[in-house]
Structure 1
């Protein structure tokens, strides 16, 4: 499966050194062209949040062009060349992704054809659910949020979505904050290995990551996602032991 613009941008920014990422953010905010990005919106953003901001501000194609421009301006020309090559060989559907998302009307027949041709599985066909965008809900009050949920998912669907969110494990609910703020990554890996939550191979792969945020993201996307409630309980116990102030803050204590 070909990588999306978002995946590619996240990978590129994730591989930047800390000083390079800092220069990228600064130069991004210094751009004179509209629309502009505010410094306060990027200061604490990790690569995932930064790419989300770029695509929401400039669209996917625009985000790619802006990233190439800014990388060139901070003398990361080799990285900019990677994006230029990606842009050159983007498939038609990738190149026009935003327009297709906005303008395609016959979604169900398309899903039927994809299922017939075995491009998607029955499970994937069944899981095509409506999604709520982060930017729409951030400033919504309770009434607006309920209205959005019922319009998006119907009354019964809204109830199910609310139950699902309320049932989320603590570590899933605070995934972004934990990725951004956990500092004792290696001791956490040691404890997870001791408790049998991760294997020796996973331990080595995650530990090889350049930055702590990348190591935590790999931990969440792999073993933590797969270990179930019991494994997440153990993970939380380890976090409470090694990062007590962070967990207390997230719990609002």
Structure 2
């Protein structure tokens, strides 16, 4: 069960995960007296403040050990991730989550085809992305949160003086080594943080 819930947590963006923890804290506070009377631990602000995705799953299972799946599904709906709820509903404890074909790497992390003319979107538009991406700090934060970047590489890129240098280092290191999965995740983040640029590049032949 824990592994299934952890896979669900990994599907959330950084902001969605923050919202999920907010609703989890709120959910626990409304039932705090009932939990305490049953002898269950109560999830507190201190518990969640620095909790990563795996620790958050541990807290859910410890606190709601009779219904961790139901609690997780309810909170996922609150953050607008009904698609992840559907995957959870199809999953059984101890089994991997079922992923539909639209979410496989060849279709990109958002279900959009990221390949054109045999090249990935982020490779095809490499020069323009390096030159024009502005929200690189936020993008790096999300790549770190998604385990695409390791802390050492994150720190190395962050200290570079310009956005262009940061992007070049990202391309020459993690994006080159990470393959399709890494590029798909990068693309999905670009769609959120650089929407207008991505839309413009999509229109280019």
Which of structures 1 and 2 has the bigger CA Rg? 1
Which structure's residues are more often helix, by fraction? 1
Q: TM-score range by the shorter chain?
A: 0.3 to 0.5
Higher relative contact order (CA closer than 8 Å, sequence separation 6+): 2
Name the TM-score, length of structure 2 as normaliser.
0.42
- Structure 1-normalised TM-score? 0.34
